[in-house]
C-alpha cells in the first residue's frame, strides 16, 4: 500500500497555498473583499466536518478576489463525502458560474470565442475536484469491499473445514464403536464365562481382573465416542455442543449489530437448544455474507404449543458481493427442524431485508 502523508501536513500545505493566493489577489482589492478572502482561507480548517457550509463560505472569495483554491478544496471535500449527483451537480454549477463571473466586467463586450473558452475553463476547473473526490471515495469503498470478501471467504473456509472435521470425527466414532467395542465386549463376556466355570481361585481372580478392565475400557470408549461426536469446532476441542447459554457470546462475536428480544421458556431440552443455537448461527452468518452493514434482531416468542425464534435483518447499507456458497445451510436447518417436528420459513421482508423463522413445538 502506498504510504499516505500525515493529515496535519496536508492541511498545513493547503492552508499555506490558499493564504498566499488570497494575499496576492487581495492586495489591490477593498477591505471587504480581503475579509471574504480571509474567511475562505480559515474555513478550510472546518471543511472535513462541515463541507457544504465551508463551500458556501468559499464561493464569495472567487467572485470578489478570484481566489479559486478554497473553492476547489472544499468542492473536493463535498464530493468525497456525498454521493448525490444532484447535490454535486449543483455545487459544480455554482462553482463554474463563480469562476466565470470575475473574468468579465459589467457592460463590457465579451467576444464569443473568449466566452466559450471561459465556460470550458470554468467547467473543467469545477468538474475536476468533483471527479477526483468521487474517484478516491470509490477506491476506498472498493478496498473495504475486498477486505470484507477476504474475511467472508476465510470464514466460509473455516466453516467448510469444520464440516469436514465433524464428518471425520463421526466416521472415527462409528469405527471405534463398531469394531473396538465389539471386540472388548466379547473379551468381557468370555472372561465372565471363565470366572463362573473355573475352580482355580488364582485363575478366577486374574480373569475377573480382565473382565473389570474390559468393562472400564468400554465405559471410557463410550465416553470418547460421545466426545468425538460432540466436538466440531476448532475453538471447542472435545467440548459439548453449545446451548442457549452460549447465545450471547455468539451474538457478540458475530460482528453484526444484533438486538436480542425475549428469551426461551425454562426447561427447554438440549436438542431443542442446539437447534435454536444453530439456526441463529446460520442466520447471522447469512446476514454477514449477503447483507453487509445490516442490523439484525433475534426475537423469542412462545405460547402454549409453539416456541418461535425469528431472526430479521434490515436491508444492506453496502452493496452485497457474490460469494461462493454450497447453499446447504438452509437445507441443514430444515432437516434439523424436521427432526424436532418443527418448521423453518425464510424469505425477504417488505422493506428489502430478510427474515428467518423457526417454529418448534413446546413439548
- 102 with 127, same domain? yes
Taking the mean position of all CA atoms in its chain, how far away is CA 307? 29
The string of pLDDT tens digits covering residues 148-169 is 888 888 888 888 887 787 777 7
- Please check whether residue 96 lies inside any domain of the structure: yes
Domain end call among 141, 175, 190: 141
- 218 with 292, same domain? no
Taking the mean position of all CA atoms in its chain, how far away is CA 119? 45
Domain end call among 81, 110, 141: 141
Question: What's the average model confidence in pLDDT over 137-152?
Answer: 84
237 CB burial (10 A radius; 0-12, 13-18, 19+): exposed
Residue 84: φ, ψ to 5°: -75, 120
- 273 with 183, same domain? no
- 85 with 190, same domain? no
The string of pLDDT tens digits covering residues 253-295 is 777 888 888 888 888 888 888 888 888 888 887 887 788 888 9
What cell was used for 121? 475553463
- Please check whether residue 290 lies inside any domain of the structure: yes
**DSSP characters over 230-249:** H---TTSTT-PPP-GGGHHH
Q: What is the pLDDT of residue 3?
A: 57
Residue 352: φ, ψ to 5°: 100, 0
Q: What is the pLDDT of residue 229?
A: 60
Domain end call among 230, 259, 275: 230
Cβ neighbours for 265, distance < 8 A, ≥ 6 positions apart:
302, 307, 362
Dist CA 2 CA 85 (whole Å): 29
Would you say residue 69 has pLDDT above 90?
A: no
- Please check whether residue 237 lies inside any domain of the structure: no
> What range does the domain containing 269 cover?
244-361
- 262 with 307, same domain? yes
- 191 with 316, same domain? no
Dist CA 218 CA 181 (whole Å): 6
Using an 8 Å Cβ cutoff, are 281 and 333 in contact? Answer: no
- Please check whether residue 2 lies inside any domain of the structure: no
Q: What is the pLDDT of residue 323?
A: 46
What cell was used for 326? 454450497
Q: Indicate which CATH number applies to the domain containing 322.
A: 3.30.565.10
Q: Over pLDDT 70: what percentage of the chain?
A: 75
- Please check whether residue 147 lies inside any domain of the structure: no
Which tops the pLDDT comparison, 296 or 15?
296
- 177 with 288, same domain? no
Least confident of 37-41, 324-328, 340-344, 345-349: 324-328
Cell numbers 466536518 correspond to 49
- 123 with 92, same domain? yes
Q: What is the pLDDT of residue 310?
A: 93
Q: What is the pLDDT of residue 274?
A: 85
From residue 147, give the alpha-carbon distance in Å to each of 57, 131, 153, 156, 183: 38, 24, 10, 14, 53
- 223 with 254, same domain? no
Bridging pattern class, strands 354-361 and 343-348: antiparallel
Taking the mean position of all CA atoms in its chain, how far away is CA 324? 16
Q: What is the pLDDT of residue 174?
A: 64
Dist CA 315 CA 297 (whole Å): 12
Cβ neighbours for 171, distance < 8 A, ≥ 6 positions apart:
none
- 307 with 216, same domain? no
What cell was used for 317? 447499507
Question: What's the average model confidence in pLDDT over 33-60?
Answer: 77
Q: What is the pLDDT of residue 236?
A: 42
* Total structural domains within the chain: 3
- Please check whether residue 1 lies inside any domain of the structure: no
- Please check whether residue 238 lies inside any domain of the structure: no
Average pLDDT across the chain, whole number: 76
**Alpha helices by DSSP H, the chain:** 7-25, 31-42, 51-64, 69-81, 85-100, 112-175, 181-197, 201-230, 247-252, 270-290, 329-339
- 297 with 175, same domain? no
- Please check whether residue 239 lies inside any domain of the structure: no
**DSSP characters over 286-308:** HHHHHSTT-EEEEEEEE-SSEEE
Q: What is the pLDDT of residue 239?
A: 45
- Residue 255: strand pairing partners: none
- 189 with 279, same domain? no
Q: What is the pLDDT of residue 326?
A: 47
Q: What is the pLDDT of residue 300?
A: 92
Amino acid at each position: 500500500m502506498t504510504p499516505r502523508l500525515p493529515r496535519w501536513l496536508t492541511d498545513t500545505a493547503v492552508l499555506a497555498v490558499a493564504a498566499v493566493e488570497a494575499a496576492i489577489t487581495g492586495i489591490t482589492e477593498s477591505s471587504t473583499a480581503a475579509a471574504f478572502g480571509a474567511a475562505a482561507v480559515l474555513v478550510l480548517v472546518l471543511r472535513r466536518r462541515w463541507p457544504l457550509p465551508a463551500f458556501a463560505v468559499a464561493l464569495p472569495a472567487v467572485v470578489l478576489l478570484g481566489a479559486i483554491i478554497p473553492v476547489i478544496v472544499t468542492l473536493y471535500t463535498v464530493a468525497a463525502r456525498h454521493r448525490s449527483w444532484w447535490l454535486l451537480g449543483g455545487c459544480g454549477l455554482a462553482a463554474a458560474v463563480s469562476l466565470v463571473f470575475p473574468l468579465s466586467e459589467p457592460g463590457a463586450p465579451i467576444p464569443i470565442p473568449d466566452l466559450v473558452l471561459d465556460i470550458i475553463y470554468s467547467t473543467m476547473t469545477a468538474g475536476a475536484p468533483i471527479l477526483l473526490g468521487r474517484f478516491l471515495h470509490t477506491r476506498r469503498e472498493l478496498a473495504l469491499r475486498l477486505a470484507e470478501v477476504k474475511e467472508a471467504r476465510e470464514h466460509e473456509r473455516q466453516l467448510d473445514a469444520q464440516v469436514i472435521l465433524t464428518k471425520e470425527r463421526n466416521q472415527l466414532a462409528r469405527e471405534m464403536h463398531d469394531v473396538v467395542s465389539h471386540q472388548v465386549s466379547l473379551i468381557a463376556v468370555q472372561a465372565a464365562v471363565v470366572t463362573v466355570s473355573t475352580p482355580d481361585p488364582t485363575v478366577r481372580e486374574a480373569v475377573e481382573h480382565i473382565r473389570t478392565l474390559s468393562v472400564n475400557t468400554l465405559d471410557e470408549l463410550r465416553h470418547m465416542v460421545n466426545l468425538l461426536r460432540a466436538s466440531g469446532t476448532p475453538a471447542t476441542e472435545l467440548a459439548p455442543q453449545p446451548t442457549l447459554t452460549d447465545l450471547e457470546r455468539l451474538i457478540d462475536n458475530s460482528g453484526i449489530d444484533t438486538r436480542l428480544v425475549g428469551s426461551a421458556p425454562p426447561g427447554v431440552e438440549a436438542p431443542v437448544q442446539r437447534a435454536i443455537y444453530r439456526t441463529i448461527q446460520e442466520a447471522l452468518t447469512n446476514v454477514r455474507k449477503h447483507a453487509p452493514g445490516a442490523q439484525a434482531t433475534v426475537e423469542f416468542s412462545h405460547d402454549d404449543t409453539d416456541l418461535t425464534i425469528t431472526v430479521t435483518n434490515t436491508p444492506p447499507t453496502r452493496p452485497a458481493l457474490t460469494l461462493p456458497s454450497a447453499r446447504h445451510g438452509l437445507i441443514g436447518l430444515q432437516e434439523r427442524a424436521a427432526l424436532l417436528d418443527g418448521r423453518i420459513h425464510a424469505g425477504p421482508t417488505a422493506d428489502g431485508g430478510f427474515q428467518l423463522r423457526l417454529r418448534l413445538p413446546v413439548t
